[in-house]
A and B are shown apart, each in its own frame.
Chain A
Amino acid sequence: MTRVRDAGPDELYEKLKAYEGRAAAVAGRGKDPVNEPMIRHWCEAMGDTDAAYTGPDAVAPPTMLQVWTMGGLSGHTGRSEAYDELFALLDAAGYASVVATDCEQEYLRPLRPGDEITFDAVIESVSERKTTKLGTGYFVTTRTDVRANGEPAGTHRFRILKFAPARRKPEGSAEAAPADRSRQLSPAVNRQPGPAVNRQPGPADSRRPGPTDSRQPGPTDKRPRPVINRDNAGFWDGVARHRLLIQRCGDCARPRFPWLPGCNACGSPEWDTVEASGEGTVFSYVVMHHPPFPAFTVSDHAADPAEPGPYAVVLVELAEGVRILSQVVGVPHDEVRIGMPVRLEFRRVDEELELPMFRPVAAGVPGGVR
């Protein structure tokens, strides 16, 4: 196996994160319909004697949701090339072992014998390189939407750690006593809730797994990366070209923002885009004082740019009638006011991220523009 280096810039991560938002499985199909024998075998193994899972009105235990999507010995159906590529990259870099760490399921309707299962899955996120007691690796989170006879039946979010095992003591002498091995290797991942909370909160969404990891010391010096997926990729494409794109319903023409797959007024999945003129007003705002996040301090107005100070998170109502959460630059946080006219600009916040922000329009701004 390739030796994994634990230090240095993480070039692999740059490659891995390009897979965020891409499909992990497309039009997957359960190998078996929901059926009584598999339900019974599951209940036997789990020791579950709930009457709901037997008899003529039987439903499947909801926690079997993922079981119906499993590939078994004959392999998965519908798995995407992107998913295979992502795993091949990790395998080739030496992160060949895998362990599941999180499973979050929501059940929308009961599954009954005879239901045919189909599913789609997306790669939601790939973490930066993390060092755990099992070894060093990357957390990969996928979300699977499961349908029964074509109707939504549940969602299944799954997180795994692809890792290179930490080196163990030489084997082959005596069998390790249970107590020994526990000190050696367990717990697999230290996940006690504690002070190591998500270090990247802020007005933008945070896509990291969050408080799962307490091993990376020091505060994060960058803003959270945007979650780019099939539903919002067009928006971020626009940002890259310095155009703020708003969706417009193809049926009722209502504008909407942030981007959604369907119209929140009429439900239509048809849409096109319009480019925002860039004119807007501050609809509302809050000032974030504590804890300080240097990445969110916009430096060109702070009294001392070296000191991470409070910053205003603003909700701007655009001339087109939709609202966007952002920041106002060019004015101190305590001079932001509701109703303040602002204009769009694109601002580079670090070497790889540009964001739409707003600057007060000079005329009639209390306190003037700095």
Chain B
Amino acid sequence: MSTAASRPGAGASRPEAASSRPGAAGPRPGDTLPPLEIPVTRTLIVAGAIASRDYQDVHHDAELAGQKGSPDIFMNILTTNGLVGRYITDHLGPGATLRKVAIRLGAPNYPGDTMTLTGKVERVERVEGVDRAERVDRVERDEPGGGAANVTVTVVGTNGIGKHVAGTVTVTVPVRGGHG
């Protein structure tokens, strides 16, 4: 839920930037999402790797990571993927359903760094078509009779050494009748 005051795990800091937060009218192209700061702790890197069943040593063993040319362990791509997904559903939910997440990694997330995720709404398209009932079942349940829109958001995560991740996310959100 986007209204949770505090949370364990990754990213305690969630500034409630009221200025650009998508409101009841739904997200609009050009909206920016409030940034999310994620402290990249050693614990987060290891917890994310194990929760994703990724036992590559570069994600938990600094010594072996060093032998492979990395100065330390670094976050695995599945964790980055999960954080990007969470960032989007946190700010477009409840009722937001992820459809596509495409990410590209650059500068690694090493322990001790902080990653700041930012997002911008690029497109909003009303959902039409015969497969709508199946594909947006969660939306339907949350708002019977309401419509839905596919929202495309570009996401960037920067850390102390550069751009860790750039991505595009498509998410289906409920919208009220008459909008769009």
Give the B-binding residues of A (Cβ under 8 A): 38, 41-52, 59, 61-64, 66-67, 70-73, 97-110, 134-135, 165-166, 168, 171, 176, 178, 181-182, 184-193, 212
B161 interface residue (CB < 8 Å to A) = yes
Given contacts A72-B53, A97-B69, contact A103 B77 (CB under 8 A): yes
Bound complex: CA A289 to CA B108 (Å) = 41
Known: A51-B1, A62-B85. A107 touches B99 (CB 8 A): yes
Known A41-B51, A182-B160, A187-B161: A50·B86 in contact at CB below 8 Å: yes
Q: Are A190 and B106 in contact (CB under 8 A)?
A: yes
CB contacts (< 8 Å) of A212 on chain B: these are 104
Task: Kindly identify which residue among A45, A71, A101 contacts B9, using a CB–CB cutoff of 8 Å.
Answer: A45
Query: In this complex, which of B1, B86, B97, B134 has the most chain A Cβ atoms within 10 angstroms of its Cβ?
Result: B86
Contact B81 A187 (CB under 8 A): no
Q: Please determine whether B83 and A46 come into contact, CB atoms closer than 8 angstroms.
A: yes
Please give me the 5 A-B residue pairs with the lowest Cβ-Cβ distance, nearest first: A165-B69, A47-B9, A187-B107, A63-B85, A47-B10
**Contact of A61 (CB < 8 Å), options: B85, B99, B107:** B85
Decide: A50 and B48 in contact? CB cutoff 8 A: no
Q: List 12 extra interface pairs beyond A45-B51, A49-B1, CB under 8 A.
A: A46-B48, A46-B51, A50-B90, A51-B94, A52-B138, A61-B98, A63-B98, A97-B68, A101-B77, A102-B102, A103-B77, A193-B166
Contact assessment for B52 and A191 in the assembled complex, using a CB-CB cutoff below 8 Å:
no
Complexed CA–CA distance, A288 and B52 (Å): 47
Chain B 154-166 interface 0/1 with A at a Cβ cutoff of 8 Å (1 = within): 0000001111001
Find out whether the CB atom of A176 lies under 8 angstroms from the CB atom of B53.
no
Taking a contact as CB atoms under 8 Å apart, the answer to whether B138 and A59 are in contact is yes
Chain B residues bordering chain A, tally (CB within 8 A): 63
Pair B51/A61 contact, Cβ less than 8 Å: no
- Nearest residue (CB) in B for A187 is B107
Structural contact, A187 and B82, CB atoms closer than 8 A: no
* Given known contacts A100-B76, A105-B102, A47 and B160 CB-to-CB distance under 8 angstroms: no
Identify which of residues 66-96 in chain B touch chain A, using a CB-to-CB cut-off of 8 Å: 66, 68-72, 76-79, 81-86, 89-90, 93-94
| Alpha-carbon distance between A62 and B169 when the two chains are bound, in angstroms | 12
**For A97, what are the chain B residues with a Cβ–Cβ distance below 8 Å?**
68-69
A41, B104: Cα distance in complex, Å: 25
Q: Is B127 an interface residue (CB 8 A)?
A: no
Question: Are B86 and A46 in touch, CB under 8 angstroms?
Answer: yes
The reply on B176 being an interface residue by CB < 8 A is no
B15 to chain A, nearest CB (A): 15
Query: Binding site of B, secondary structure by majority: helix, strand, loop or mixed?
Result: mixed
A46-B86, A63-B82 known; A70-B51 Cβ under 8 A: no
Contacts of B71 in A (CB 8 A): 176, 181, 184-185
Q: Which residue of A lies closest to B103 (CB)?
A: A103
Instruction: Give chain A's interface secondary structure class.
Output: mixed
Residue of A52, A70, A134, A135 most packed against chain B (CB within 10 A): A52
Mark interface residues in B107-143 (1 if CB within 8 Å of A CB, else 0): 1101011000000000000000000001101100000
**Docked CA distance A73–B70 (Å):** 22
In the complex, residue of chain B having the shortest beta-carbon distance to the beta carbon of A42 = B51
**Which residues of B sit under 8 angstroms from A135, Cβ to Cβ?**
69
How many residue pairs between the two chains, A and B, have CB atoms under 8 Å in the bound complex?
178
* Distance of A6 from chain B, by nearest CB (Å): 16
Question: Would you give 18 A-B contacts (Cβ < 8 Å), ordered by A?
Answer: A38-B51, A41-B51, A48-B85, A51-B1, A61-B98, A63-B78, A97-B69, A99-B58, A99-B105, A102-B103, A103-B78, A107-B99, A110-B97, A181-B71, A182-B160, A186-B161, A187-B161, A192-B106
Q: How far is the CB of B122 from chain A (nearest CB, A)?
A: 14
Contact A105 B106 (CB under 8 A): no
- Report chain A residues within 8 Å CB of B8: 44, 47
- CB pair B100–A105 under 8 Å, yes or no, is yes
Give the residues in chain A near B48, CB-CB below 8 Å. Answer: 45-46
Residues of B with C-beta under 8 A to A42:
51-52, 82
Q: Contact check, A70 vs B54: say whether CB atoms are below 8 A apart.
A: yes
**Of listed B71, B72, B102, residue having the most chain A CB within 10 A:** B71
B179 within 8 A of A: no
User: A70 contacts B9, CB within 8 Å?
Assistant: no
- Is there an interface contact between A44 and B138, defined as CB atoms closer than 8 Å? no
Q: Is the pair A64, B82 in contact by a Cβ cutoff of 8 Å?
A: yes
Decide: A44 and B81 in contact? CB cutoff 8 A: no
Choose one: B82, B102, B106, B134; the contact of A191 (CB below 8 Å): B106
Contacts of A176 in B (CB 8 A): 71
